[in-house]
Amino acid sequence: MVPSLLFEVMLIGLLGIGSQWIAWRYRMPAIVLMSISGLIVGPILGIMNPEEDFGNLYNPIISVAVAIILFEGSLNLSFKELKGLGRPVVRISTIGAFIAWILGSLTAHYVAGLSWTVAFVIGGLFIVTGPTVILPLLRQSKLKATPAKLLKWEGIIVDPIGALLAVFAFEIIAFITSTNPDGSSLFLFFAASFFAVILGWVCGRGVGWMFETGHIPEFLKSPAVFIVVIFAFTLADEIEHETGLLAVTAMGMTLANLGINSVADMRHFKENISILLISAIYVMLTASLQLEVLLKIFDPNIIGYVILMMIVVRPLSIFLSTWGTSLSLNEKMLVGWIAPRGIVALTVSGYFASILSDAGYEDASIIMTLTFGLVFFTVCAHGFTIGPLAKKLHLSLEGRPGTLIVGSNKFTMNLAKTLSKSRNPVLIVDSSWERLRLAREAGIPFYHGEMMSEQTEYHLDTNPYEYLVAATDFHSYNALVCTTFMPEYGRTNVFKVSPYNMIDGGVNDSVDRVGGRILFKEDVAMEDLINKIAKHYVFRQTTLTDQYGYKKYLAEKDKEAVMLYALKPSGKIKFYTEEMRVSPESGDTIVSLTPPKKEIKKIKERLENQRNNGNGNNANNANSGNNENQ
């Protein structure tokens, strides 16, 4: 066992974030690694058992964390994002959820051998996927926009619905089987659910109003939001168990659609908190499992139940609910396969296991085993297959990394041409049709719009692009673009042209220190690059070999050349900056903006050859003329 509770808290954080880092580094499903690390330190090695060690604090910690995670996910549910997808999302979240509930309950009864009461309770619970499992998978897999949005919306909306369906099933069955039926409990359930939605809406509107009117200072906005989230969740949950999830979802969606800048500004902070909580909770939940629970998941009935839920119940519910919608067959197949269960299923199933056991249902003892079996197998199966399946169905954005260039001019247009020739996706964004004329004439993909506007956020799919280059004539605007998109692209993938001032002979410190790495050289500004294009500088591509290495290239290159980027055979791009060291290897291609000395030399040689050939032809013509005269 761990020496202290403080050490255990440290170990949970280390395992959670360590699993996230390993998953990022080696492109593996993070939720699988977190679950495995929890199992190793928990039931397998017996190093810790958070449920016992935290005591009465364990369940409240898990509940509050789930509420915050669900709220953070629902903050991304803007109705503007549903353009063209409203019908499939509504159908999957309603008809699809109902079909999955009925089919899952039948499977639990006839395959897992559960009583009708227990089967219908967990049948409702097991329709949930949730942001704790879906969002990490979407972050890892890089799906196209349609399936990614469908899975995200379904996971967040159905999360509270599944928990409420389980409560509803229990209340209905208790009402039907009671010797003295009393409808007050059913009325309380529906009234509490309605109250939870209204509470979430009121809290969302209230927070939005206080933000807009300045009643909350900037430094208190994030703490205030989290306290209100916990308040809404706790108040609703105290009235009726599991309605708290409905309250925080309603609050998050309300804030997401108010269009308040303060909420958008907190997005990355909330995402960081959510990642930290997800990492910690998965380790805590799996570390708290008993070894006998793990061994029971290999029971034939449980394995059979899990397999049918994955390959029959889920695909049928998706195909039947999306019949007649605009979704393609490939999109239905992918969404019909991906349905990992997560934290909500594990936490709520524990609650119902005790409730049903107290009510006299002996088969409720296997609920935790059944739940963990479904969670673990779906997390592993879907975590490892979402990427390959998406590629197979042509729904993946995996491929050569793309570059998003903000600003259309002669330099960026030629830079985009070199990237296109290398089969790397490229897109030029500009708010001026006149400036975009260069890109249109060159056949370069472009987007007409303001990069910083909200409309661009919803209409421009930035998923194919790993790198962002801000290359407009306005240095402050370039810095603002880089600062805004740095959390999305990463600090090492956001670049801007140098804010070098040719008149003062230096760099504007205030602009230099804000956002983005300076491209190429600090003393090479945008006007320098455009002037070089006007002087017919060429974009030269040089491929390194074992015989012609990087050192030899540097020794022979023109001193006036501007080295732009190194391109690896995989398509990965390394832009030259003074802050990042680029070390190309054999097989890499270096792209530079070079004086046209070689081209001029070739032109002179060609003209000389033509002149010599012309003189030779004239001499031959003269000789033949003399012969004729003779």
pLDDT, tens digit, for every residue of 227-248?
Answer: 999 999 999 988 887 788 888 8
> Closest by alpha carbon to 402, among 347, 465, 358, 317?
465
Q: Are 362 and 123 in contact (CB under 8 A)?
A: no
Whether the pLDDT of residue 196 is over 80: the answer is: yes
pLDDT at site 232: 92
CA 487 – CA 491 distance, rounded (Å) = 7
Torsion of CA 307, 313, 314, 319, to 10 degrees: 140
Query: What CATH number labels 5-392?
Result: 1.20.1530.20
Query: Per mean pLDDT, which of 22-36, 269-283, 320-334 is the most reliable?
Result: 320-334
Per-residue confidence (pLDDT) for residue 264, from 0 to 100: 62
Beta-carbon neighbour count of residue 257 at 10 Å?
Answer: 15
Enumerate the domain spans of the chain. Answer: 5-392, 402-602
Are 374 and 126 spatial neighbours (Cβ–Cβ below 8 Å)?
A: yes
Question: Please, is 288 exposed, middle or buried when counting C-beta atoms within 10 Å of its C-beta (0-12, 13-18, 19+)?
Answer: buried
**In angstroms, what is the C-alpha Rg of the chain?**
31
Residue 235 confidence (pLDDT): 93
Structure tokens at 138: 């979407």
For the chain, percent of residues with pLDDT exceeding 90:
7
Q: What is the pLDDT of residue 316?
A: 92
Beta strand 589-594 with 562-567: parallel, antiparallel or unpaired?
antiparallel
Q: What does the longest C-alpha to C-alpha distance in the chain come to?
A: 135
Q: Identify the band that residue 106 occupies on the pLDDT scale cut at 50, 70 and 90.
A: very high
Cα separation, 385 vs 399, whole angstroms: 17
Q: Which of 54-68, 133-147, 178-192 has the highest mean pLDDT?
A: 54-68
Per-residue pLDDT, 308:
92
For strand 500-501 and strand 506-507, is the pairing parallel, antiparallel, or unpaired?
A: antiparallel
Q: Rounded to whole angstroms, how far apart are CA atoms 66 and 242?
A: 11
User: Do the two domains 5-392 and 402-602 of this chain adopt the same fold?
Assistant: no
480 confidence band (pLDDT: 50, 70, 90): confident
* Residue 630 banded pLDDT, cuts 50, 70, 90: very low
Phi and psi, residue 406, nearest 5°: -95, 115
- Cα distances (angstroms) measured from residue 306 to each of 87, 122, 189, 297: 29, 13, 30, 10
Please give the DSSP secondary-structure letter assigned to residue 399: S
Q: Mean pLDDT over all residues of the chain? A: 80
Instruction: Determine the Cα–Cα distance for residues 415 and 401; give it in Å rounded to an integer.
Output: 15
Q: Is 443 left (phi over 0), alpha (psi -120 to 50) or beta?
A: left
pLDDT value at residue 466: 83
Q: What is the pTM of this model?
A: 0.69
d(C-alpha 45, C-alpha 34), whole Å? 16
For 420, counting Cβ atoms within 10 Å of its Cβ (0-12 exposed, 13-18 middle, 19+ buried), the class is: middle
In tens, the pLDDT along 78-91 reads 777 666 677 888 88
**Distance in angstroms (rounded) separating the CA atoms of residues 553 and 234:** 66
Task: Report how far apart, in Å, the C-alpha atoms of 442 and of each of 414, 421, 446, 520 are.
Answer: 9, 12, 11, 24
Read off the pLDDT of each residue in 49-54 and give the average, rounded to a whole number: 88
Domain 402-602 class? alpha beta
Q: What's the pLDDT score for residue 530?
A: 84
